[in-house]
A and B are shown apart, each in its own frame.
Chain A
Amino acid sequence: MLIDDRVMNWQEKISFRLRTLYSEYGYERYRMSKFEEYDLYSRNKDFLFSEGVITFTDTTGRLMALKPDVTLSIVKNRKDTPGALQKLYYHENVYRVSVAADGFREQTQVGLECMGEVDGACIAEVLKLAAESLKLCSSRFVLEISHLGILNVFVDAIAPDESVKHEILQCAGQKNLHGISRVCRDHGLAEGAENALKELLSLYGTPRTVMPKIRALAAEYGAEKMAACLGQSVAVFTGTELENRILIDFSATGDLQYYNGIAFKGFIDGIPGSVLSGGQYDALMKKMGRKDRAIGFAVFLDMLERLTEEEGSRA
């Protein structure tokens, strides 16, 4: 029996398109339980998008949680695959505190994870799939890409301790350059100490326009290898129709306890927040006792609710 797609709403159609795309690239569907032991989340609170988890005691007396996150479950439940690459995709509901709803909300995510021998080619493929995912949702999208390793080097060069570093990173995520200067002055750092970081954060644009400047700036701080890695990763878009949709932006930050290397976010014109978020999370893997490297992203289907079908059809 053929399924008449008129019975599907827009989000369902997007979900099918994304899952088809990921299957075509060799990703396997990963299914998981709705519940996890609460302990997993209490040990990795900062990794979660929001504080607060719905918990209950199961029939054996264990404290369980309705999962607020997919990546943590996948990392916990799969084994290392030395020398191999595991490519997975999922379509799952998560339960998070929503400020807008003033309470918990069920949110639907479609995403993928790549674990194991993650190399430059794998990172490039994931970035390409992130851009293709956005393109399936709308023709008016951008994918902003950052490198947390490079950002970390520039922040470490000036921050005397973790709390100052946290304040500086917070300002970086807001493109708040005057705030960075204020934090530096408040903590007695020399006038101008933050100039290189501010210059890095001001480098905003397509890879073609900003990569040469990033390479030059990174070289001054011994971060040329990381800049080369960023350059190789975004080179996958060179000469393609997606090239002008890619922006390098170091304000795309993430928690350095979990994330490292490439980080990215996707935006669609008319939708106020990011509809896609992802990056490398080798640090989380290490924290959870894994030797594998990892990269992945999620598309937040709920954010696409306001996107009209006509807009999407033009994609």
Chain B
Amino acid sequence: MLNIALPKGRLGEKVYAMFARAGFECPALMENSRKLIFDNEAAGVRYFWVKPSDVAIYVERGAADIGVAGKDILLEYQPDVYELLDMNVGKCRMAVAAPAGFRDDMNRTLRVATKFSRIARDYYTSVGRDIDIIHLNGSIEIAPILGLSDVIVDIVETGTTLRENNLSVIEEIVPISARLIANKSGFKFRTEQIERLTEGLRKEVQEA
């Protein structure tokens, strides 16, 4: 049985549809229930819904053989897993955003509010800028408005939230999308099934 961790929410449902079309369906999954684990013995799969940021943990720790996680989570937590496929869905970008008229004063340490401390630190290290990281867990956009930070590093999808808070993207760090990941040990023992699934999904991605 192949254990698959999917991210709860709209992205997870979209991704499951790709798994189903690739021949790994489990109809019970889309039924309206509070269940979190679903088996389809005939297809040899067990799906479970988990919080999107936890998918990589389930896979790294071997509770799931494979899963789908955002590249943002993989870059931030750097789990020791295989990254088998760019699923080309859930596309957005990790970016630096600042209030209108912002000008970086190089005489000061730049204050950066973010949920993604590692990504922000790595990016500013790569450009040689000294920063002060303010780690927040949500509502990052209000940090510059309240004077808590100079800029933010966050995921930008359409840019609507930024615009509504008088912020705009000043630098793109990295494109983000959902990735198929696999546990390194699980991959060795369920290779044939994982490779078949990966190939099926690859076709789905190419045809989309």
Contact = CB atoms under 8 A, between A and B. Distances in A.
Interface of A: 140, 142, 144, 171, 174-176, 178-179, 204, 247, 251, 267-274
Given A267-B185, A269-B189, A272-B185, A176 B82 contact: yes
A272 B183 contact: yes
A302 B85 CA distance: 32
A271 B60 CA distance: 10
Contacts of A204: 191
Contacts of A270: 62, 185
B51 interface: no
Contacts of A174: 81-83
Contacts of B86: 178
B82 A267 contact: no
B185 A274 contact: yes
Contact of B189 (A140, A171, A178, A251): A140
Contacts of B188: 142, 144, 247, 267, 269
Given A142-B188, A142-B189, A267-B185, A272 B60 contact: yes
5 contacts: A267-B184, A267-B185, A273-B62, A273-B80, A274-B185
A189 B61 CA distance: 36
A102 B62 CA distance: 19
Interface residues of B, number: 19
Nearest to A204: B191
A273 B184 contact: yes
Contacts of A175: 82-84, 182, 187
A144 B188 CA distance: 9
B208 to A, nearest CB: 15
Contacts of B187: 175
Interface of B: 60-62, 80-86, 182-189, 191
B168 to A, nearest CB: 24
A272 B83 CA distance: 15
A274 B61 CA distance: 12
A176 B78 CA distance: 13
A188 B125 CA distance: 22
A10 B158 CA distance: 55
Contacts of B61: 272
Contacts of A272: 60-62, 183-186
A181 to B, nearest CB: 9
A271 B83 contact: no
Contacts of A140: 189
Nearest to A249: B188
Contacts of A142: 188-189
Given A140-B189, A142-B189, A271 B82 contact: no
Given A269-B185, A274-B185, 14 more contacts: A140-B189, A174-B82, A175-B84, A178-B83, A178-B86, A267-B184, A267-B188, A270-B62, A270-B185, A271-B62, A271-B185, A272-B186, A273-B184, A273-B185
A176 B189 CA distance: 19
B85 A178 contact: yes
A252 to B, nearest CB: 10
Nearest to B59: A272
B50 to A, nearest CB: 16
The 8 A-B pairs of least Cβ separation, nearest first, read A272-B62, A176-B83, A175-B82, A178-B86, A269-B189, A267-B185, A142-B188, A174-B83
A132 B137 CA distance: 48
Contacts of B85: 178
A251 B82 CA distance: 9
Contacts of B81: 174
A70 B141 CA distance: 48
B93 to A, nearest CB: 13
A268 B83 contact: no
